[in-house]
Chain A
Amino acid sequence: MEEVTKAEAHPAEGAAHGGAHAAHAGAHHHAPPSGFIRKYVFSIDHKVIGIQYLFLAMFSAFTGMLMSLLMRLKLTTEHPFAFLAAVFPNGAPGGVMTPEFYLSLVTMHGTMMVFFVLTTAPQGGFGNYMLPIQVGADDMAFPRLNMLSFWVTFVGLVVLVSAIFVEGSTSLGTSAFVNKYLGGGGSGTIGPIGGWTGYPPLSALGKAAGPGQGAGVNLWVLSIAIFCVASLLGSLNFITTLLNMRCRGMSLMRMPLTCWSWFTTAILALLAFPVLLAAGVLLLLDRNAGTSFFIPAGEVVSDVLLPHKGGSPILWQHLFWFFGHPEVYIAILPGMGVTSHLLSTFARRPVFGYRAMVFAMFGIGLLGFFVWGHHMFVSGMSPYTGMAFSVLTLSIGVPSAIKTFNWLGTVWGGKLRFTTPMLFALGFVSLFVAGGITGLVLGQTTLDLAMHDTYFVLAHFHLVMGVAAIFGIFAGIYFWFPKMFGRMMSERWGKIHFFLSFLGVYGIFMPMHTMGVVGMPRRYSAFTEYAFLGKLHPLVLFVTISAFVTAAAQLIFLFNFFWSLRKGEPAGDNPWEATTLEWVIPSPPPFDNFAGKLPTVYRGSYEFSVPGAPDDFILQTTPDEDVPGLSHEGDGAARARGQGVSTGNGHNGQH
């Protein structure tokens, strides 16, 4: 009971913020738009923008997944397939994919997944939709900026996709223009082939460095630069909204952990993306303006001595990974937030160690900026620097272990409800542990000597920042779908989707660890050249089969998603019997979220199974006197429920 009393007190800052917000709300009040374009296309409503981000991410995720299937196919067999020849006449002449086609798939898969899925869906999608509601605001602080950041992201995606088509397209012909500016026609490539990390000089030398280094790379860099701008706009908005627009009573320590995760992520993005933006601009200059930031003197390509002088390929790696490592946490932190949120909700227990979770999140965020060098142990960087990075890297395991410990603590002693979102949250924990823990191997300078750039690395980061993060996204979709669209997704199909995916992703990525131990290098378009890779074929085949099964399971999701949009059961306001602010308003929420009157919050986010309370959950908006078992003045003094919510929205679904 001591804990409850603590949660009761209104911290002064909460009230102060409420006051600040009242003034803010006046300035922001706007009528809902009526036209289709203003409502669904160039909308300034954070909810519509959130859904736009989600759809953009879904498109990218399925495109990226198809690319990975093609990659698996290429790695498994050299058998020609007629359909490949038909669909990719340049990339797979005769039905067998060319090495450069494979590498362009590697590059596009990585770029799409990292930027347009893992950065976009959890933050741009859920963050946009839910953050203002969960802190009790009627919109983002800067709605127009919000719209701008989505549309800039969209332009980034269009530019990225177009990078596939500019080079090597015979349909463009072989005119002087095509040869000069578009990398020439008919080289057989479909996109840039430098990998998502785009290390120069390979990515800086242009056509001289071989196929897949022409105009496509320019567009690829440009796309990333555009994405950086969009992310900066977005994160400014997130930070401002969270700091300035929380409703009355929503003190920082009462916020859902999801909000904390979006907040931390936004700070990381704000500090990391400018560095990548700068690096991208320098790379574009190296490619197109004759500068030498990343190209050293004495480069000889195809017997031609290049005029460049004074650049450093390692400089790019430092700039890239200074962004790239925080990026890993940008991808995973929102998943952690969602997981904490869902485990508590469906275990019907308060989050175990809420404060520790917040500090761990910031600990991870902070340390995340001091470990980028572990990507570069064997890059030629000073070995002493490598050692420092190594020790810092392993210390990041400590806050990660705190999170895992607290997730287990949250479900331990709970009354678990195995809904689909809960399954995905539990899956997240399992995958996060499985993927994260091998960081202990890769973070050691010594062990990296053999593991660097092998399939062990591939397994590690796919499990932790890829699949675990994707499970976080799925958890979020299944959980918030009813709020966003007013209908439930099918639980039966959801569960089938979960079990197939869970088994499937382990089947894909676990064997990759042992491939890495044997020594299999990444980014090989075939394993035909080396005897020591030959004996791994059974594993390669197994991984490919797992990949196809997992991909098929995603079709179940796709079907479920679109079917439920129209045919799902009506959700009601609070189908999960959850406690946070999004569940006190109708599903889907009205244009300004709280119908003109902002809520007041009386307690923390995770008041489940409070002893004495009639239900096993108490909404954040319910004052103590409305909970009979908690009331200090006795039941007689309890007033009608809902009075704490100044909206009069009621909170249906509570009983």
Chain B
Amino acid sequence: MGRLLAALIWVITIASVWLFANARWWFPPGITEHAPDYDRQFMLTIIVVGFAFVVAQLALGVAVWRYSSKGDRAERAVYTHGNNRLEMLWTGITAVIFIGVALLGQRVWARLHFYEAPAGAAQVHVVAQQFQWNFHYPGADGQFGHTDPKLIKDSELNFVGLDEQDPAAKDDQVVTTLVIPVNRPVELALRSKDVTHSIWVPETRFKQDLVPGMNINVHYTPVQTGKFELACAELCGQLHYKMKSYLLVVPQDVYNEMIRLPQAGFQTRVTQLLKDYPLGISQVPPRAAPAAQQ
């Protein structure tokens, strides 16, 4: 019985390690500046975790394999109540490793969250609502128009409550796709109209809740162009699983060009880019915008 259990424990251990070593089910390639550091920290942690996991399971298996009772009434186990020196040694080693990993695990976090977005970052206001993402861009003047929850009227397509009276609002664009320029920091101002949502694009190695009543500013820098799926990662109701959008990372000139377009042109351009870009990282230069050709 002991040997069967030991064998089973080892088989499970090997299968688990294989599952993690298998490149088929792994992170998609990262597209942000911090992604390589994220992946390194993940690998380091997984190696520590994997090592501890394998050693513990191996030891358990060995104990189970070796120390089986023979059913002899006269047999006796080793009689001790422990070993304080071993105990201290073990505690010391794990404490150093765990705390060390914990400290290393703050670096990317600190870089992203302890500093304001660098000057010149592209700005997008994100307003989530049940099962829809709204991305609000400042338009040609680079200034966001005034918004007010009182003005929100989904039925009139004013999803973010944009104040039409405000001159700065005239050129603002609101679409349901997130478009950002490559190799330039982007600052997202995150808000939610109704319940808590969470913005999640696996390739960015970044996730942040959008909380009603709060305005949360985050920033990162994409370094690859392409089209990526954007999901909601915080349960927000019935159709949570369908609250989908796309992240488009486009060359800077394309971005600068489209940010000057009026709402309708911007919308058309986004639709076109969504069509042109295949899913994933891609260098395909998107077709020139119709407006620019004229």
Instruction: List residues of chain A with CB under 8 Å of any chain B CB.
Output: 3, 99-100, 103, 193-195, 199, 201-202, 205, 209-213, 295-303, 305, 311-314, 347-356, 378-380, 383-384, 386-387, 390-391, 393-395, 397-398, 401-402, 404-406, 408-409, 411-418, 423, 426, 429-430, 433-434, 437-438, 440-441, 443-450, 452-454, 495, 499, 502-503, 506, 510-511, 513-515, 517-519, 521-532, 535-536, 539, 608-611, 616
Contacts and interface: CB of A to CB of B under 8 A. Distances in A.
Nearest to A413: B78
A531 B60 contact: no
A352 B12 contact: no
A368 to B, nearest CB: 16
B207 A452 contact: yes
Given A194-B235, A434-B16, A510-B15, A379 B67 contact: no
Contact of B194 (A209, A352, A518): A209
A453 B102 contact: no
A440 B45 contact: yes
A444 B63 CA distance: 32
A609 B105 contact: no
B110 A387 contact: yes
B207 A394 contact: no
Contacts of B41: 444, 446-447
Contact of A298 (B5, B59, B195, B213): B213
A446 B110 CA distance: 8
Nearest to A539: B25
B28 A449 contact: no
A93 to B, nearest CB: 15
Interface string B71-107: 0010111111111101100110011001101110111
Contacts of B229: 530-532
A441 B106 contact: no
Interface stretch (B116-124, B145-153, B165-173, B249-257): B145-153
10 contacts: A99-B240, A201-B196, A209-B237, A300-B193, A312-B213, A313-B212, A415-B70, A430-B60, A444-B105, A510-B12
Interface in B233-266: 233-242, 244
B19 interface: yes
B19 A405 contact: no
B19 A397 contact: no
Nearest to B75: A415
B52 interface: yes
A398 B91 contact: yes
A513 B53 contact: no
Interface string B35-79: 000100110011011001100110110011001111001011111
Nearest to A107: B235
B208 A202 contact: no
A578 to B, nearest CB: 14
A171 B216 CA distance: 45
Interface stretch (B177-185, B198-206, B267-275, B283-291): B198-206
Contacts of A530: 229, 231, 244
In order of increasing CB-CB distance, the 6 nearest A-B pairs are A296-B213, A444-B105, A519-B202, A383-B113, A353-B82, A394-B102
Nearest to B191: A298
A199 B213 contact: no
Nearest to B39: A450
Nearest to B241: A524
A519 B94 contact: no
Contacts of A100: 238
B76 A616 contact: yes
Contacts of B207: 378, 448-450, 452-453
Contacts of B232: 521
Contact of B108 (A103, A449, A529): A449
A503 B70 CA distance: 26
A406 B205 CA distance: 38
Contact of B196 (A193, A199, A390, A446): A199
A205 B213 CA distance: 14
B1 interface: yes
A395 B95 contact: yes
A99 B152 contact: no
B108 A446 contact: yes
A517 B25 contact: yes
A454 B214 CA distance: 23
A454 B212 CA distance: 22
B176 interface: no
A299 B77 contact: no
A349 B78 contact: yes
Given A387-B110, A405-B90, A311 B213 contact: yes
A350 B100 CA distance: 34
Nearest to B48: A440
B140 interface: no
Nearest to A376: B209
A408 B67 CA distance: 12
Nearest to B190: A380
Contacts of A448: 207
Given A378-B209, A440-B48, A434 B53 contact: yes
Contact of A526 (B25, B99, B129, B241): B241
A523 B240 CA distance: 8
B150 A305 contact: yes
Nearest to A514: B25
Contacts of A355: 82
B281 interface: no
A438 B49 contact: yes
B99 A391 contact: yes
Contacts of A514: 19-20, 22, 25-26
Contacts of A440: 45, 48-49, 98, 101
Contact of B12 (A393, A418, A437, A503): A503
Contacts of B109: 383, 386-387, 390, 444-446, 449
B205 to A, nearest CB: 5
B112 to A, nearest CB: 8
A454 B233 CA distance: 8
B82 to A, nearest CB: 4
B132 interface: no
Given A347-B67, A378-B208, A502 B87 contact: no
Contacts of A409: 82-83, 86
Given A353-B83, A447-B38, A449-B108, A303 B153 contact: yes
Given A353-B82, A379-B209, A446-B108, A212 B87 contact: no
Nearest to B111: A446
Contacts of B82: 351-356, 406, 409
Given A430-B9, A506-B16, A514-B25, A532 B202 contact: yes
B236 A202 contact: yes
Contacts of A405: 87, 90
A447 B105 contact: yes
Interface in B20-38: 20, 22, 24-28, 38
A16 B176 CA distance: 73
Contacts of B238: 99-100, 103, 193, 210-212
Given A391-B102, A518-B25, A616-B76, A99 B94 contact: no
A257 to B, nearest CB: 13
Contact of A450 (B83, B154, B205, B211): B205
Contacts of B205: 449-450
B198 A453 contact: yes
A311 B211 CA distance: 12
A449 B26 contact: no
Given A353-B83, A526-B241, A609-B77, A518 B235 contact: no
A624 B84 CA distance: 26
A438 B27 CA distance: 17
User: Which of B8, B60, B242 neighbours the largest number of chain A CB atoms within 10 Å of its CB?
Assistant: B60
Given A354-B82, A409-B82, A438-B49, A300 B152 contact: yes
User: Which of B12, B22, B68, B213 neighbours the largest number of chain A CB atoms within 10 Å of its CB?
Assistant: B213
Contacts of B112: 449
B38 A398 contact: no
B2 A416 contact: yes
B47 to A, nearest CB: 11
